[in-house]
Amino acid sequence: MYHLPPKNFPYNGVVTNIVRGEFKVIEMVQHNYIRFLFFNKGKSKRAIAKELGIHRNTVTRAIANLEPKYNLTVEQEKPVNGPFTEKIKLMIQKNYEKGGKERLTKTRMHELLQDEGYTGSYSAFTYQARQIEEELQLISKETFLKLLPRKGSLQVDFGEMIVLHQGKKKKVYAFCAKLCFSKVEFIQIYPSQKTEYFLEGLMACFAFFGAVPKIIIFDNLKPAVKTILTGTERELQERFLKFQSFYCFEAEFCGPGKGNEKGMVENLVKYTRNNYFLPFPNFTDFDTFNAELISKCQQRMKKGTFEGQPWVKLLLEEDFLPFTEFYDCARILEATVNTYQLIHVERNRYSVPTQYVGKKVQIRMYPFKVVVTYKEKVIAEHNRLFGRDNEILNPYHYLTLLKRKARAFDQAKVIHDWRLPPIYETYHRRLQAHRQSKAKGTRELIDILRLTEEHGVSTIAKILKELDEKNQYSYAEVLSLLRYQKDCTTGTGRLAEDELTKYHIENYTVTHLNLKAYDELTGRGA
């Protein structure tokens, strides 16, 4: 039986904490106490052994300061399987010969053995199963090599993020890219992972670096990979192939489920989510938010270091290809203009000018812009809509139709949505009164509205206010005052003849005042 030293006896608390079990703690304290009695109190080995009830050899080892040996792992008791030992071994071996989907889980194997009379616990079974797997070399732990980062290589991936737009959660996708050698990062967000956003992200990345990486490492993203073949072989999307051919970079693709092969950008996605999107940021528009992300990337680049070297310095050592121009990454579609002057694209609607009703037009879908062409001529441009059942009506596309159908002007949705300054409504009504015809007054206002496309709504609004104060109501008066203001600004004498033709001034007449009465009053008539 062991005898404990006094309670106030000092001992090594660190050693005590790492040794498992009360018995081990007592043994270490006893080791120190033996030395204390021998060296401090001058007791003999025999006296110490007798006092503590231990063997003299134990005292001798403690005095020699030979630390006690501890077995920190407890050997697990092996189950007594009897006739099941070979059966378990055979079951595990055959199970590994099956395909992945046909393999039994250890839980299921344990249940089947229990049905046959096996009494061992699940933990006992799994312990023996691991021993058998190691013995038969059925499993092996995956090992990794530390690789040197290649200069001019880039890892790319998308990550799903959440933002707040008008108080509601909105899902966006962060395009993340990280250079393997210099560690410089690039981040932008897009409404989806469609091909045009993917290619736009790559180009924006090239512009940020000022060059094209020689090697770009991707996951098996749909915008790039059409089909995963055997090994590293991939059937690539046609649009991606054209993009790759344009910039001449080498594309590498990770194995399915092998995210560790692009671990740098995987970590960047996590960093982006944790530092830029938690808590959920307020979102207004993509341009503003992306500009903020560019600023953050620039700050990170200036401050970042790797193994004592600044990112900026390492960036200069990268092996890049030149970046000289932007690739046209638009997705091209076709549509026929309906009778409402609209084309339907991705469940949204965009207007085109009246003369193209019934025509088949080409639509170029850019990440944030829609360009409509007819016979290679651009006929309309719009901001790209997201979501469903939205529409953009350009009022200038409808002015020709409204001039023919002047009576529909007041009820036209496109005019109502335009939300012009109040002076336009005021001037419109007084034009109608002046012309003594609602239709004529409306048509003249439409011609005035045409001027706003070039000169701006606010400029023409100021002219209308000035003319209203003078009780002058006509398109010709608006054009005359516009010409006068232009003359004062540019110093030119008058509008050129071709410019006058553009405004169809020949269709309008100006009634000049009869100055005879004034001449008579001033005596000039005599």
Task: Give the lowest-confidence range in 263-267, 306-310, 318-322, 497-501.
Answer: 497-501
Average pLDDT (497-519) is 53
Helices (H), 184-262: 195-209, 238-247
The pTM for the full model equals: 0.62
Give domain limits for the chain: 13-63, 84-135, 153-322, 331-392, 399-507
Task: Give the 3-state secondary structure of residue 319.
Answer: coil
Task: Tell whether the model's pLDDT for residue 107 goes beyond 70.
Answer: yes
Task: Tell whether the model's pLDDT for residue 400 goes beyond 50.
Answer: yes
Task: Tell whether the model's pLDDT for residue 12 goes beyond 80.
Answer: no
Task: Tell whether the model's pLDDT for residue 338 goes beyond 60.
Answer: yes
162 vs 56, more confident = 162
- Answer yes or no: are the C-beta atoms of 365 and 345 closer than 8 Å: yes
pLDDT of residue 168: 92
pLDDT of residue 17: 35
Tell me the two tokens of residue 164: 């707040």
Please give the C-alpha separations between residue 473 and each of 419, 429, 509, 511, in angstroms, as whole numbers: 21, 10, 12, 11
Average pLDDT (140-166) is 82
* Residue 141's pLDDT band (cuts 50, 70, 90): low
Q: Burial of 478 by CB count in 10 Å (0-12 exposed, 13-18 middle, 19+ buried)?
A: buried
Task: Tell whether the model's pLDDT for residue 506 goes beyond 60.
Answer: no
Please give the C-alpha separations between residue 445 and each of 103, 435, 454, in angstroms, as whole numbers: 79, 11, 16
The beta-carbon contacts of 432-438 under 8 Å, at least 24 apart in sequence, are 434/473, 434/474, 438/406, 438/407
Task: Give the lowest-confidence range in 116-125, 266-275, 308-317.
Answer: 116-125
HSE (CB half, 13 Å, CA atoms) of 444?
28
153-322 CATH, one of 3.90.1150.10, 3.40.718.10, 3.30.420.10, 3.30.365.10? 3.30.420.10
Task: Tell whether the model's pLDDT for residue 373 goes beyond 90.
Answer: yes
* Residue 4's pLDDT band (cuts 50, 70, 90): low
- Answer yes or no: are the C-beta atoms of 159 and 269 closer than 8 Å: yes
- Answer yes or no: are the C-beta atoms of 98 and 92 closer than 8 Å: no
* Residue 11's pLDDT band (cuts 50, 70, 90): very low
pLDDT of residue 72: 46
410 vs 53, more confident = 410
pLDDT of residue 256: 74
pLDDT of residue 25: 47
Task: Tell whether the model's pLDDT for residue 13 goes beyond 70.
Answer: no
Helices (H), 66-194: 84-97, 106-115, 122-135
Mean residue pLDDT across the chain: 84
pLDDT of residue 62: 85
Side by side, the strands of the sheet bearing 377-383 are: 331-336, 360-365, 369-374, 377-383
pLDDT of residue 1: 46
Tell me which architecture the domain covering 331-392 has in CATH: Beta Barrel (2.40)
